[in-house]
Structure 1
Amino acid sequence: MTKIVVGVAEQVLMSELRVHVSKLDDAEIVGFSESTHELVALVARLKPDVAIVHDLLGPGSPAEVVREISFRTPATAVLVVNSSGSTDTAMAVLEAGAKGVLSTPLDLDDVISRMEVARGWAERMGGLLAGATADVARELGRNGRVTTFTGAKGGVGTTTVATHMAIDLQRQVPGIKVCLVDLDLQAGDVSGILEARQRVSVADVAKVSQDLSTTTITDALVRHESGVSLLLTPLQVHETDFVTPNAVRAILGLLRQEFDVVLVDGGAHVTPAQAAAVEVADEVVCVVTPDVLAMRSFRRSVQAWEGLGVRSEQELHILVNRVSRDDVLNAVALGRLTSGRILATGLPSMHRHLERAVNARNPDEVRETVWWSALQHIGAEVGVHSAPQTPQLAAAPSKRRKQKRKVSEAGQIALETVALVPVVVGFCLLVWQVGLTALAFTWNGHAANAAARAHSIGENPRDAAKDAMPESMRSSVQVTVIDSSSVRVSSSVPVLCPGCASLPRRITQVAEVVKEP
C-alpha cells in the first residue's frame, strides 16, 4: 500500500486529488495539512511514500518544503502542484529534490504517471536505506534531530540550559556529533558561557546560504574542547541582517546531515530568524520560570508564532526552570495556563552553583548531580537524550536518595542513642542519690528528736530512734547519749550510685534533751 500525504491550499484541488488517487491501485491518502509547517511535521511522523505539495500552501516556499522533507525523510518522494504555472517555481522545486511537477487543472493520466514514478523511486530508496549500514545511511541522507530552545523572556536560563545539555550529551554518549547554534542575535551568550573564540559566525554562513556546502559550514564551526561544535552569533550588530529565515532553514538543513543532534538557542525575542528555527525544528522547548511575568511573555511568543503559522501551542514543550517548593505557580497551575506540554522534570533553583560556572566560563564547575540528571531527563522527554538509568527528580531529591538519606540518618540516630544511654542512666542515678541523701537527713533528724524525747521521759532512746527510721535503715542506726542534755544519732545513707564520692555516706545529728519541770 502506497501512503500519500497531501498539503494543499484549496478545497477544490483537494477533492480532485482524492478522486485521482482513488483511481490508483494500492494507494491511500493518510494525512492532510493546511500549512507547510504542518505538512513537514506530518511527513516526519507518518513517513509516507509520497508527499504532494501545493505551491500556494505557505508560509514556506515550495522549494524549502521539498528540501526539508528530503532532509527529514529521504525515502519520501515529493510531488509539487504548480498552480501558478511558473517555470521558475518548477525548476526550483526540481533542483530542491522534487520527483515531479503537476500542473493545474489536474489531468488523470498525468497524475497516474507522476505517481508511478514517485512510488517506484520511494520503493527503491526505502529498500536501499533499509539495507544500508549506518555510515552509508548517513551519506544517503539520514540526519539528526534539531531541537530549538527559546525563552519566555530574558534571564530565564535558555542559553544555560541549551549549552549545558549539549556539553552533557557530548560527554555521556561516546561518538555522538553535537552542534550548538546560537541564534540569539540580540544577546548571544554561548561564547561567554563556554569561553569560545570565533573568527566567523552564523552571519558569514548566511551570506552564502544560496550556495552552501559541507566545507563552507564546517569552516565556520568552532570546535570546543568538550567536542561540541559551535556556530556562534556575529560580533557586529549590523551583520545580523544577513541571518534571514531562508538562510536559517538552509543552515539547519545542512547541519542535520552532518550532526546527530543540533541544539539551537533561539533567545527570548521573536525574530524572523528565531521563527524559522522554531518552524523547522523537530521539537521546540520553551523555558519559563514559575511567575506571572514569564507566562505572560510566553503567551506573546506563542501568539506571534501562531500568527506566522510556524508552530502551534499544542506542539510546544514547556520547561519550568528555578523550581522551588515555595512557588505559588507549580506545575499543575502552569498546566492550566497553556495547552502546551509541561515537561515532567523541572530544573531546581541553583543560582549560586550556576553563577560559579558562568563566572569561570566552565559548565563543569556545576558539580551537583541533580542538575545534570535533570537535564538528561529533559533530553529524554524531548527526544534529545536517551533515558537515564537512574531516575532523578530536579525539584526535590529522588525517592532513592531519600531512602538512602533516611537509612543514613537512622544509623546515625541509633549510634547517638547508644552513646547517650550511659550518660542518661548515670545522670538519673545521681539525681536519685541526691534525693535519697536529702531524705536520709530528714529521717535521721526525726530519729534524733524521737531519741531525745524518749530519754527525757526515761525510755530507751535507741528503740525510739529505730522506730522513727524506715525499716531498711534501722540496722545502721547508732544512738549515743551525751551526758544528760543531748542525744547523738547517726545512720548510713542508702547508696545507689557508688561513684558519688562527694556525697556523705553517714549522717550524724544531735538533739537537745528537754527536761520537763
Structure 2
Amino acid sequence: MPTRILPAVGDADAVRSLTTLLSQLPDAEPVAPVVDSTQLVDTLARLAAESVDELPEVVVVHERIGPVPALELIREVALRFPAVGVILVTSDAGPGLFQAAMDYGARGLVALPINYEELASRVQAVAQWSVGVRRHLGAGIEVYSGGVGGTVVTVSGAKGGVGTTLTAIQLALAAQASGRTAALVDMDLQAGDIASYLDIQFRRSVADLATITDISPRVLADAVFRHDTGVALLLAPGEGERGEEVTDRAARQIVTALRSRYEVVVVDCGAQMSGASAAVVEMADTALLVTTPDVVAVRGAKRTVRMWDRLQIRKAEETTVVVNRHTRGAEIQPALIQKITGTGVAATAIPANWKELQGAVDAGRVHELDSKGAVKQAMWGLAGELGLVKAPEGAQKHAKFRGDRGAVSFRRRG
C-alpha cells in the first residue's frame, strides 16, 4: 500500500523542490500540498471526518510554514490527529531543535538542503510508525477535528459593553446542558470578569499555565474551576497586570490542551485585541464578533474585521457577526451590518430585553436565566445554529440549515 504524504510548505520554491523529491520516493503517494497552518489543520479535519483511514500517514512540515509557528503547528497536529506522523524540515538540525521537535510531537527531522536518502529513510520510518499505531489502536483512535469534539469558538466584542461575556457564557452553558463537555476560557486578560457573572471565587487562572510548556491533563485539571453546571472554567487573572504573562504562544498551547479534553471550548476574547486573543481567534473553528445595532458599535465591528484581515488573523468571510439587543424597529438591521462589515451574520439575532437580564447579572447568577426568556432562548438557539448543541437522536436528519458551513447558518453577501 503506498504511503500518503501531505507536504505543508508556505514557500513556492520549497514546495516545488519538496514535492519533486517526495514523488521520487518508492511507494510514495504525495497529495496536493497545503500552504499554511490553517489549511493543513482544515484538510486533516475534513479527511478525519470521513474516516481516520483517510488521513495521510505522513505530514511534512516546512520550518517556514505560517501563520502558526512550525513547532506549535506540530503540537496541534499531534494532539488532534495522533495517528499521523509529522516530519519537520528545517535548516537547523542541531540537538536543541531536534529535542524540541520531539517534545512537540514530531516523529522525525530532515535537514535543509534536503538529502534524498535522508528523506527516504525518515519517511519510511514514520510511515511504519503511523501504520503500526493505526493497527494497534484500530477504531479506538480519537480525532479532535473540529465540529464534533474539540470545537473552538471565540467570542469577541466590537466594543466594550455589547454583551460579549454573556454570550460566551450562554454558549458554553447550552453546549454543556445538551450533553457535550464544555470549557469556557476568559482570554480578556486585563478586564475579563466571568467570575462575577457566575458569582464564584477562584485561586488559579489562565496565567498559571502561561509558563508551562507541556500542559498535562493533571496540570490542566488543577487550573480549571468546575462550575456547578458542569462547565469547566479557565478564568482571567484577578490581577490584570498578570495578563501580560499570557503570550500568543502560551494561548495556543492552552487552547490546544483544552481542545484535546473538551468537546466544545468557548473563549471570551473581550473587545481589546492582545497577542493572546489574536492567536486564539486565528486558530478557532468559529470566530464570532458581537455587536449592537448602533453606529458606534457597527463602526467598531468594521474596524475589527479590517484589522484582523490586515494582520492575517481572520478573513472577513471567515468571521460571523452576532447582533445583540436587536429590535425590529431599529434603523440598523442585520442585513445592513452584513453589508458594512463584509462578514457572515448569524441568522439568530439576540433581542433587547435588559429587564430579563438585570436581576441575574447583578446577582452573579446568569446561569439561572429564565429558560422561557427571549434572550436566553435566542442565545441557546445561537448555540444550536453553531452546532455546539448535541441534537436529540433522530432530530438531525430533519433539521433545516441555511448557509454552507455545516451546522452553521449565515446570511452572506449577495
**What number of residue pairs does the alignment pair up?**
384
Which of the two has higher C-alpha Rg?
A: 1
Matched, 1:257 2:263: no
The answer to whether the 8 A contact 1:51-1:77 is kept is yes
- Deviations 1:438-468, CA, capped at 9 Å, x for gaps: xxxxxxxxxxxxxxxxxxxxxxxxxxxxxxx
CA RMSD of aligned residues (A): 2.7
Amino acid across the alignment from 1:27: E
Alignment match, 1:184? 188
The answer to whether the 8 A contact 2:178-2:389 is kept is no
Q: CA deviation at 1:387?
A: 4.6
Identity of aligned residues (%): 33
Matched, 1:193 2:193: no
Distance 1:108 1:361 in 2: 63
The answer to whether the 8 A contact 2:7-2:61 is kept is yes
Amino acid across the alignment from 2:161: G
Amino acid across the alignment from 2:205: S
Matched, 1:80 2:84: no
Distance 1:128 1:373 in 2: 45
Amino acid across the alignment from 1:215: R
Amino acid across the alignment from 2:11: E
Matched, 1:96 2:104: yes
Change in Cα spacing, 1:392 to 1:211, as seen in structure 2 (3 Å) is: closer
Change in Cα spacing, 1:129 to 1:38, as seen in structure 2 (3 Å) is: same
TM-score (norm 1): 0.68
Alignment match, 2:283? 280
Which has a greater percent of helix? 1
Amino acid across the alignment from 2:243: T
Alignment match, 1:153? 159
Alignment match, 2:388? 384
Distance 2:370 2:193 in 1: 18
Question: Please, which moves more after superposition, 182-191 or 4-13?
Answer: 4-13
The answer to whether the 8 A contact 1:37-1:311 is kept is no
Q: CA deviation at 1:15?
A: 0.5
Matched, 1:36 2:37: yes
Alignment match, 2:411? none
Distance 2:131 2:19 in 1: 22
Change in Cα spacing, 1:87 to 1:305, as seen in structure 2 (3 Å) is: farther
TM-score (norm 2): 0.84
Amino acid across the alignment from 2:346: L
Q: CA deviation at 1:130?
A: 4.5
The answer to whether the 8 A contact 1:56-1:83 is kept is no
Distance 2:86 2:335 in 1: 43
Alignment match, 2:139? 131
SS in 2 for 1:185: coil
Question: Please, which moves more after superposition, 289-298 or 214-223?
Answer: 289-298
Change in Cα spacing, 1:20 to 1:179, as seen in structure 2 (3 Å) is: same
The answer to whether the 8 A contact 1:373-1:392 is kept is no
Change in Cα spacing, 1:186 to 1:32, as seen in structure 2 (3 Å) is: same
Matched, 1:171 2:177: yes
Distance 1:385 1:181 in 2: 18
Q: CA deviation at 1:77?
A: 1.8
Task: Describe how 1:19-418 pairs up with structure 2 within 5 A.
Answer: 19-24=20-25, 25=27, 27-33=29-35, 35-47=36-48, 48-49=55-56, 50-132=58-140, 137=142, 144-173=150-179, 176-206=180-210, 208-363=211-366, 364-387=368-391
Alignment match, 1:485? none
The answer to whether the 8 A contact 2:187-2:269 is kept is yes
SS in 2 for 1:273: helix
- Deviations 1:392-437, CA, capped at 9 Å, x for gaps: 99xxxxxxxxxxxxxxxxxxxxxxxxxxxxxxxxxxxxxxxxxxxx
Amino acid across the alignment from 1:234: P
Amino acid across the alignment from 1:17: L
Q: CA deviation at 1:7?
A: 2.5
SS in 2 for 1:327: coil
Distance 1:90 1:244 in 2: 23
Amino acid across the alignment from 1:318: V
Q: CA deviation at 1:296?
A: 2.2
SS in 2 for 1:210: coil
Alignment match, 2:412? none
Distance 2:136 2:153 in 1: 28
The answer to whether the 8 A contact 1:37-1:280 is kept is yes
Question: Please, which moves more after superposition, 88-97 or 300-309?
Answer: 300-309
Distance 1:91 1:12 in 2: 28
Distance 1:151 1:180 in 2: 16
Q: CA deviation at 1:160?
A: 0.2
The answer to whether the 8 A contact 1:196-1:222 is kept is no
The answer to whether the 8 A contact 2:369-2:376 is kept is no
Distance 2:45 2:400 in 1: 31
SS in 2 for 1:337: helix
Change in Cα spacing, 1:46 to 1:340, as seen in structure 2 (3 Å) is: farther
Query: Where in structure 1 are there 5+ consecutive unaligned residues?
Result: 394-517
* Highest RCO, 1 vs 2 (Cα 8 Å, sep ≥ 6): 2
SS in 2 for 1:30: coil
- Deviations 1:244-266, CA, capped at 9 Å, x for gaps: 11211121122122222211111
Q: CA deviation at 1:202?
A: 1.2
Change in Cα spacing, 1:76 to 1:329, as seen in structure 2 (3 Å) is: farther
